[in-house]
């Protein structure tokens, strides 16, 4: 590996660890029975199960530590953050909507950086032999 590739890999791991830490922390907080997230989801008109589902997806961001699925996981989290931006703009228009936008950019960056390492599902064996 040359120095440029090593630097890019270190950069990729640094932003991945940063994003994983943010999503893990906020995802775990969504499981609490009381608190800011409970009050906020209710204020926004979402049911409790939705808060828990979002928490599960965010904690699942730990899978970004596996480079073969990091692209898929980061794009899923980016989609969740698009919903967060929409919620914040609709319900509480203020500067807080910048955080999910930054997370969208970081998640898309991780997806792009890990795209060549993604897990590829090949066609079933019967289909491969039928085409031959």
Q: pTM for the whole thing?
A: 0.84
Chain segment 70-82, per-residue pLDDT in tens? 999 999 999 999 9
Round to whole Å and give the CA distance between 115 and 110.
Answer: 8
Chain segment 92-105, per-residue pLDDT in tens? 766 567 899 999 99
Contact, 81 vs 104, CB < 8 A? Answer: yes
Round to whole Å and give the CA distance between 75 and 72.
Answer: 5
DSSP character for 115?
A: G
Contact, 58 vs 30, CB < 8 A? Answer: yes
Sign of CA dihedral 62, 96, 32, 43: negative
């Amino acid at each position: 590996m040359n120095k440029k590739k090593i630097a890019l890999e270190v950069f990729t791991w640094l932003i991945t660890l940063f994003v994983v830490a943010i999503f893990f922390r906020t995802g775990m907080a969504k499981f609490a029975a009381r608190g800011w997230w409970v009050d906020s989801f209710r204020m926004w008109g979402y049911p409790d199960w939705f808060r828990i589902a979002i928490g599960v997806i965010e904690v699942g961001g730990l899978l970004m530590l596996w480079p073969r699925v990091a692209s898929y996981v980061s794009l899923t989290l980016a989609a969740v953050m698009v919903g967060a931006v929409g919620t914040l703009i609709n319900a509480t228009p203020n500067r807080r909507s910048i955080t999910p936008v930054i997370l969208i950019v970081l998640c898309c960056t991780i997806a792009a950086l890990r795209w060549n390492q993604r897990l590829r599902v090949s066609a079933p064996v019967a289909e491969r032999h039928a085409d031959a």
